[in-house]
A = this chain, B = another copy of it.
Amino acid sequence: MKEIDPKRSAVTMVDVAEAAGVSAITVSRSIRRPELVSEEARLRVAAAIERLGYVPDAAASALASKRTDVVGLLVPSLTNSVFSEVLRGIYDAVEETPYSVQIGNFRYSPSGEERLIRTFLRQKPAGMIVAGLDQTDSSRAMLERAECRVVQIMDQGPAPVDLAIGFSHRDGAVSAVEHLLEQGYERIGFMGARMDPRSQRRLAGFTEALKARGLFEARRVVTTPAASTVGLGGQLLGDLLARAPEVDAVFCNNDDLAAGALLEAARRGIEVPRQLGICGFNDLEMSRFLNPALSSVATPRYRIGRGALELLMQVIDAPEEKPEAVDLGTEIKARASTARRG
């Protein structure tokens, strides 16, 4: 049985110092800046640390030094496959630095986001990475007053709090619509779930692109506040076809929905791409292996993650630097699911 005894005072730096026959500060230095300590002292300290099972106290260190090596990361979801690539980029990049990442998941709740920002700022993070440009006023104010640099990721738009790296969701949607038009589709529908601010911008791009050509029909747009899943993609395709049976193509807000639509079309005997073109968004790993392969708008998720952390590292010791917002762009991946002319 595990023994938990919070009264037994833990080993402190002073204990280690006494055991090693040096002073506390030498212990501190041999942990943080070993090059400033003689090899002999360093070895004695290391041995004492090992022998006593010393674990430095992060809170005491943070309090005394007024700094931490934590980079706070705020995302709206960990289930959404989009963010897993971003995380991979961030983790890859942070591994090359002395910093560590702490994730907060606000689950698409603005008040949850405010709460998390407050919690993170209490810890005096070395930097913050937050998803999106659309924080509440109060969240935005906290980020603006924060004593650390802030990178907003995933999106692209005017007036970021500090730094920003992402892409234009509107432009991505426009390129999808243009691709579908090029392939000869003209009665194009839209399927969207969750409809967070970025999804809204994709819908806006979709709408604009079609309106510019006089091809927009409001009834061809189906959305739901529910979270995107493959199953929901099938349902939404059913809803769309019931409301607007004439649609010859559908732009899906993301690849989960698009995969669901593709599979549902197969179940209904609807031929893709001949009878119905389907285009997704994000270009998830699985999409190109579906039958037919799913066309999609590829988004630079990994590069956003890596880029965000690199941006932060670049400015973290240079408070005066302020790089421009970075637009990484998107790329349409034309595959069989929209190859009407092929």
Instruction: Pick from B1, B122, B286, B291: contact of A58, CB below 8 A.
Output: B122
Select A122's contact among B57, B91, B102, B322, beta carbons within 8 Å: B57
Are B123 and A58 closer than 8 Å at their CB atoms? Answer: yes
Considering only CB atoms, which chain B residue lies closest to A120 in the complex?
A: B58
Is the C-beta of A219 less than 8 angstroms from some C-beta in chain B? no
Residues B123 and A230 in contact, CB atoms below 8 Å apart? no
- Interface residue tally of chain A, by bracket? 35 or more
Q: What's the Cα separation between A175 and B10 when bound, in Å?
A: 47
A145 within 8 A of B: yes
Q: Using Cβ atoms and an 8 Å threshold, which residues of chain B touch A158?
A: none
Q: Which segment of A37-45, A79-87, A273-281 sits at the interface?
A: A79-87
Q: From the candidates B81, B100, B289, name the one contacting A234 in the complex (CB within 8 A).
A: B289
Write out the residue numbers on chain B whose beta carbons fall within 8 Å of the beta carbon of A79. 84-85, 87-88
A 45-62 to B, binary, CB cutoff 8 A, 1 in contact else 0: 000000001011111111
Since A58-B124, A87-B105 are in contact, a sample of 11 more A-B pairs with Cβ atoms closer than 8 Å, ordered by chain A residue number, is: A2-B162, A2-B322, A10-B147, A53-B145, A56-B122, A58-B59, A59-B59, A59-B68, A59-B124, A229-B285, A230-B285
* Interfacial residues, chain A to chain B (CB-CB below 8 A): 1-2, 4-6, 10, 53, 55-63, 66, 68, 78-79, 81, 84-85, 87-88, 91, 100, 102-103, 105, 107, 118-119, 121-124, 144-145, 147-150, 161-162, 229-231, 234, 256, 259-260, 263-264, 266-267, 285-286, 288-291, 319, 322
